Amino acid sequence: MTKEIIKENTKQERKCFICGKKTKLTKTECCDQWICNDEDKYVLFSFAHNSCYRNHRKYTLCAQHYNEGHKGDWQTCEKCKQGIEPEMYVYFGTNEYNNEVLKNPPKFKPTHCIKCKSIIILSEGGYTWTKEGYICMFCYEDMKEKDK
């Protein structure tokens, strides 16, 4: 093969491992994988999930493990596992923003509101945390109303 054909074949294989786009790519610092260079799309405090790069950087164990300077693989890192709620550990290890997902994620008990006992899904938000535990947004709003 000539250099031009090899170069063209290599370029065709480059694609974002999250969305599959093939243009405006960069490599992740943590896992050295091709990903959209699109963090500029994110609007501060919007909590949007419109940036492949930001989603991988903010919502994966891979990136957290790298950013914390942990040794070894993120999949077997005890520091990563101990430093986060089990529910969030599973979410950060298995969501769609990962290049490689956590095999055999640990089981965890659901998180419940300390007031009404409803299940709170930590990865979706809609709660607040106090020293007593998690409070769903409905109970929190009721508490605020009663405090007025």
Task: Report yes or no on whether pTM surpasses 0.85.
Answer: no
> Is residue 100 one of the residues assigned to a domain?
no
> Is residue 17 one of the residues assigned to a domain?
yes
Q: How many CA atoms lie within 13 A of 53 on its CB side?
A: 16
Residues 115 and 89 in one domain: no
For residue 10, what pLDDT is reported? 54
Count of CB atoms situated within 10 Å of the CB of 91? 22
Q: What pLDDT band is residue 5 in, cutting at 50, 70 and 90?
A: very low
Number of structural domains the chain divides into: 2
Quick one: tokens of 54? 């930001």
Helix spans in 60-134 (H): 61-67, 78-82, 86-94
> Is residue 85 one of the residues assigned to a domain?
yes
- Which H or E run includes 25? strand 25-27
For residue 145, what pLDDT is reported? 76
Boundaries of domain holding 66: 3-94
Residue matched to tokens 């089981």: 107
Helix spans in the chain (H): 3-13, 52-59, 61-67, 78-82, 86-94, 137-147
- Does residue 59 contact residue 51 with C-beta atoms inside 8 Å? no
Residues 65 and 124 in one domain: no
Q: Mean pLDDT, the chain, as a whole number?
A: 89
- Does residue 3 contact residue 36 with C-beta atoms inside 8 Å? no
